[in-house]
């Protein structure tokens, strides 16, 4: 069974490897949104290149494995080059701007505010000063579930 599989792989031409790579890439992009399958597709392209230069099957497996492992280590550094532009969790909000949308009736130094990503947060003023509706504040720290803000 394994011998049959290996002989099947051996008869695949370089252009067929490229088509397989494009199919995997298409499935990844259009159906799954997966970030691992493009790495497999790129590794298959390297297999196609090694097959074009008529490297032995064992070397093609080595090329596939090496390029896949190399990409798995390299991809996070290439993908995450930028600083986080949109805050997703409470601690990511530090340093971001937030717009106050309502003020609590019990204390005008606290209220609700909306971040750039549309999330609503509980806010309190850093110096217990009154908040202004529709004013923009900067988050300076987090206390529990509240963002501590100050006027820009």
Residue-range domain boundaries for the chain: 2-79, 90-151
* Dihedral sign computed on CA atoms, order 23, 26, 30, 33: positive
Helix 37-52 vs helix 14-27: crossing angle, to nearest 10: 170
The closest of 103, 98, 150, 93 to 126, measured between CA atoms, is 150
Instruction: List the chain pLDDT tens, one digit each, 152 residues.
Output: 777 877 888 889 999 999 999 999 888 888 776 678 889 999 999 999 999 999 999 999 999 999 999 998 888 777 665 555 555 677 878 888 999 999 998 999 999 999 888 888 999 999 999 999 999 999 999 998 899 999 87
Say if domain 90-151 classifies as CATH 1.10.287.110: no
Residue 57: what are its φ and ψ, rounded to 5°?
-60, -40
In this predicted structure, what is the pLDDT of residue 10? 84
Residue 120's DSSP bridge partners are 114
- The pLDDT, as a whole number, for residue 123 is 95
């Amino acid at each position: 069974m394994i011998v049959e599989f290996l002989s099947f792989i051996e008869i695949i031409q370089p252009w067929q490897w490229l088509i397989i790579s494009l199919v995997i890439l298409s499935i990844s992009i259009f159906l799954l949104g997966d970030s691992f399958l493009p790495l497999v597709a790129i590794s298959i392209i390297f297999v196609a290149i090694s097959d074009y230069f008529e490297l032995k099957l064992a070397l093609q497996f080595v090329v596939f494995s090496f390029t896949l492992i190399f990409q798995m280590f390299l991809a996070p550094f290439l993908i995450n080059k930028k600083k986080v532009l949109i805050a997703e969790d409470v601690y990511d909000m530090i340093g971001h701007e937030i717009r106050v949308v309502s003020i609590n009736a019990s204390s005008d130094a606290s209220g609700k505010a909306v971040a750039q990503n549309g999330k609503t947060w509980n806010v309190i003023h850093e110096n217990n000063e009154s908040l202004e509706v529709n004013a923009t504040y900067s988050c300076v720290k987090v206390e529990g579930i509240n963002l501590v803000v100050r006027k820009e």
